[in-house]
């Protein structure tokens, strides 16, 4: 049976293709029958989006104490070069203790929501005791944006076993009900708080003007954070001088190969993703291409083809351009290879993109020369990306590429 690029996302291990799920096969079988457990939340929370504005929300924690951050943070996974198997195993250790909420409960939280918000504020793992209504099940949530969420269980009650350690800036902005959420995101970012922790605060409804605060589904808060931070950086980048030559950066992680081609022009941005046969969401189908782009003035609609990775890629680029105080056009070419067989979330793509700009870049006189260099590292013909690229087709046709778009 041929599998299209979306079937795995719809199936989520329910066997719609009639074959054993290669992702579930790697997920640890817990065999838990407990209604009570204790452990250190990494810390991590998860806000669902099904039945919005009435949603599932909750806390993830393992049955172990101590430094559990590596179960949750893509920053650590990338830094320590975790394999997909290690990430899946880490995710499988945690129980998702969840409860029903309305998004407006963020403004007047009950006991469970209040504990969840306290955990979202924590900068270190938090020892927590959980009482469940039913044992955890093996159901898993697969998403392009978020790491695998498994072992859901309805939460009856919870108790913090220690006072959470918090960052002073995060605590201040959580208590400041007059600062807009977008401004709070920027202040947290400028204070050096890692992106994953900023996302948690937004998702838990801990930021923004008091009467506007609400729970934000984790998937949406990831994109909103990356989008807001890159737009903040672009406010300055658009006034910087253009780069004077073609630059090429690359990185690879878990079968995600990136080539970032920077062109001497005003700011414009394009992502083309090639989902190769055997990769996540495309286990048996033909090569699948996803593309989104924007010109100098930005885009008004959501990048629905590339989805959350588009904004994570753009944030990494903007961080680099802000560092060198330049602007440029940028074509992002991603090969999603068969090695990337299970979704690990947008966070690993953000870190892989950031790594590209930490690596030594290459300089070229023409974009054609740059593509020839990229071809040496790529498995697919680079012409696939070249022929589809909006940016390359328009480069040089306007004095200031993208200002008309």
Does 1 score more than 60 pLDDT?
no
Q: What is the pLDDT of residue 4?
A: 41
What are 242's strand-pairing partners? 327
Model pLDDT, residue 13: 55
Angle at 53 between CA 123 and CA 157, to 5 degrees: 50
Of 107-116, 140-149, 386-395, which range is least confident? Answer: 140-149
Quick one: what percent of the chain has pLDDT higher than 70? Answer: 91
Phi, psi of 124 (to 5 degrees): -135, 160
Residue 100 scores a pLDDT above 90: yes
pLDDT at residue 124, as a whole number: 97
pLDDT (0 to 100) of residue 285: 83
- pLDDT of 12 higher than 60: no
Q: What angle do CA 341, 347, 353 make, to 5 degrees?
A: 90
| Residue 22 confidence (pLDDT) above 90 | no
Distance CA 232, CA 226 (A): 10
pLDDT of res. 152: 94
Span 169-198, pLDDT tens digits:
999 999 999 999 999 999 999 999 999 999
Region 295-320: what's the mean pLDDT?
97
Say if residue 11's pLDDT is above 70.
no
Averaged pLDDT score across all residues of the chain: 92
Q: Residue 189: CA atoms inside 13 Å, Cβ hemisphere, count?
A: 20
> pLDDT of 75-97, one tens digit each?
999 999 999 999 999 999 999 99
If one counts every other C-beta atom within 10 angstroms of the C-beta of residue 248, the result is 21
Tell how many helices (H) and how many strands (E) occur in the chain.
13, 14
384: left (phi over 0), alpha (psi -120 to 50) or beta: alpha
Say whether 40 sits in a helix, a strand or coil: strand
Lowest mean pLDDT among 29-38, 284-293, 317-326: 29-38
Which residues fall within 8 angstroms of residue 257, CB to CB, at 6 or more apart?
250, 251, 334, 335, 337, 377, 378, 379
Band of pLDDT at residue 141, cut at 50, 70 and 90 = confident
Retrieve residue 382's tokens.
């680079």
Question: What pLDDT, on a 0 to 100 scale, did the predictor assign at position 97?
Answer: 97
pLDDT of 280 reads 85
Question: Which H helix or E strand runs over 368?
Answer: helix 367-375
Tokens of 379: 């498995």
* pLDDT bucket at 282, cuts 50 / 70 / 90: confident
Q: What is the average per-residue pLDDT within 220-237?
A: 98
pLDDT at 284: 80
What mean pLDDT is predicted for residues 306-317?
A: 97
Q: What is the pTM for the complete model shown?
A: 0.93
């Amino acid at each position: 049976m041929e599998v299209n690029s979306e079937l795995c996302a719809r199936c989520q291990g329910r066997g719609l293709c009639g074959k054993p799920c290669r992702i579930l096969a790697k997920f640890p079988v817990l065999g838990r029958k407990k209604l009570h457990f204790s452990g250190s939340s990494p810390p991590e929370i998860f806000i669902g989006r099904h039945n919005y504005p009435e949603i599932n929300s909750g806390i993830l924690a393992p049955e172990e104490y101590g430094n559990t951050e590596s179960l949750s943070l893509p920053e650590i996974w990338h830094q320590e070069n975790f394999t997909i198997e290690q990430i899946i195993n880490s995710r499988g250790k945690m129980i998702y203790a969840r409860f029903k909420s309305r998004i407006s409960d963020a403004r007047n939280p009950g006991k469970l929501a209040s504990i969840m918000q306290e955990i979202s504020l924590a900068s270190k793992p938090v020892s927590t005791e959980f009482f469940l209504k039913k044992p955890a099940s093996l159901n898993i949530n697969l998403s392009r944006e978020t790491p695998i969420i498994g072992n859901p269980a309805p939460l009856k009650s919870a108790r913090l076993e220690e006072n959470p350690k918090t960052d002073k800036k995060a605590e201040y902005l959580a208590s400041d009900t007059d600062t807009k959420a977008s401004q709070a995101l920027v202040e947290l970012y400028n204070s050096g708080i890692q992106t994953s922790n900023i996302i948690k605060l937004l998702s838990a409804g801990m930021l923004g003007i008091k009467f506007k605060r609400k729970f934000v589904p984790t998937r949406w808060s990831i994109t909103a954070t990356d989008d807001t931070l890159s737009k903040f950086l672009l406010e300055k980048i658009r006034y910087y001088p253009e780069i004077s030559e073609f630059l090429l950066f690359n990185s690879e992680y878990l079968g995600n190969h990136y080539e970032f081609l920077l062109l001497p022009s005003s700011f414009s941005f394009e992502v083309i993703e090639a989902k190769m046969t055997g990769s996540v969401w495309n286990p048996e189908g033909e090569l699948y291409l996803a593309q989104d782009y924007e010109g100098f003035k930005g885009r008004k609609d959501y990048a629905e083809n590339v989805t959350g990775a588009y904004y994570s890629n753009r944030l990494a680029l903007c961080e680099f351009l802000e560092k060198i105080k330049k602007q440029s056009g940028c074509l992002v070419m991603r090969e999603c290879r068969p090695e990337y067989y299970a979704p690990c979330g947008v966070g690993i793509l953000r870190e892989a993109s950031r790594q590209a700009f930490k690596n030594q870049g290459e300089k070229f006189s023409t974009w054609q020369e740059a593509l020839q260099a990229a071809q040496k590292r790529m498995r697919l013909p680079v012409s696939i990306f070249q022929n589809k690229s909006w940016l390359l087709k328009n480069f040089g046709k306007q004095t200031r590429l993208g200002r008309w778009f």
